Amino acid sequence: MDTTAPDTTELDTAQSDIADLGIAEPETAEPGYHSNKDAHLKRLRRIEGQVRGVQRMVEEDTYCIDVLTQISAATKALEAVALGLLDEHLRHCVTHAIQAGGAPAEDKLTEASAAIARLVRS
């Protein structure tokens, strides 16, 4: 079992970029996805099971294409969760910031654009 810590360079860079932009923590008490939190958690648990299944397939020396097919399915499932969260962020957090106006609105739009760019690159 690999006990090395995951590479957090990309996350650190993204957090640094957000800090450099002066984007503050959200002012709302609940995140945009709060109303669908249980559904998101259910989907993430299902994806977690898929990934464990892929690990088991590799441990059992399953045919490469079958493993790749399952990785593709897990990737698509994660992308669906990400798109759902992004949609909720735009509808909730960004909408509230735009209604408030001013610099926070610009910051939220910049933050959302950066998130979209990261999703497109992944």
- Any idea what DSSP says for residue 84? H
Instruction: Summarize pLDDT for 46-66 with one digit per residue, the tens.
Output: 999 999 999 999 999 999 999
pTM assigned to the model: 0.68
In a domain, 4, yes or no: no
- pLDDT of 20 > 90? The answer is no
For residue 57, the model assigns a pLDDT of 98
For residue 30, the model assigns a pLDDT of 79
Mean pLDDT of the chain: 82
CA distance 88 to 109: 14
* 32 against 42, higher pLDDT: 42
In a domain, 96, yes or no: yes
Instruction: Summarize pLDDT for 64-104 with one digit per residue, the tens.
Output: 999 999 999 999 999 999 999 999 999 999 999 999 999 98
- Contacts made by residues 28-31, CB under 8 angstroms, sequence distance 24+: 28/92, 28/93, 28/96, 31/88, 31/89, 31/92, 31/93
Which CATH number goes with the domain that contains 64? 1.20.58.1000
For 21, how many CA atoms within 13 A lie in the half-sphere containing its CB? 21
Q: Is 108 exposed, middle or buried (CB count within 10 Å of its CB: 0-12, 13-18, 19+)?
A: buried
Domain that holds residue 76: 35-121
In a domain, 115, yes or no: yes
- Hey, is 28 helix, strand or coil? coil
For residue 32, the model assigns a pLDDT of 76
For residue 19, the model assigns a pLDDT of 46
